[in-house]
Amino acid sequence: MRILVNGAWRETTGADVAAVLEELGFAASVVATAVNGEFVATGTRAATRLAEGDRLEVLAPMQGG
């Protein structure tokens, strides 16, 4: 399926947010996620199904000083 990840189109075999994060290498990372502008909590990622054309945003915390 084709979804928009952080503004770039990607082909994925993942059917839910957790699977796509694992596919992208974010599975062990501390990140925030949103699908189509709606926040997706860590505990609901495996249950949050994705569909063709969905927008997934993956945000990693930044440190600075």
The full set of domains in the chain, from first to last, is 2-59 (3.10.20.30)
> Model confidence at 65, in pLDDT bands (50, 70, 90)?
low
User: Whole-model pTM?
Assistant: 0.90
Q: Greatest CA separation found in the chain?
A: 40
C-alpha distances out from residue 24 to 18, 21, 43, 58, 65, Å: 10, 5, 18, 10, 28
- 25-58 pLDDT tens trace: 988 789 999 999 999 999 999 999 999 999 999 9
Q: Is 56 helix (H, G, I), strand (E, B) or coil?
A: strand
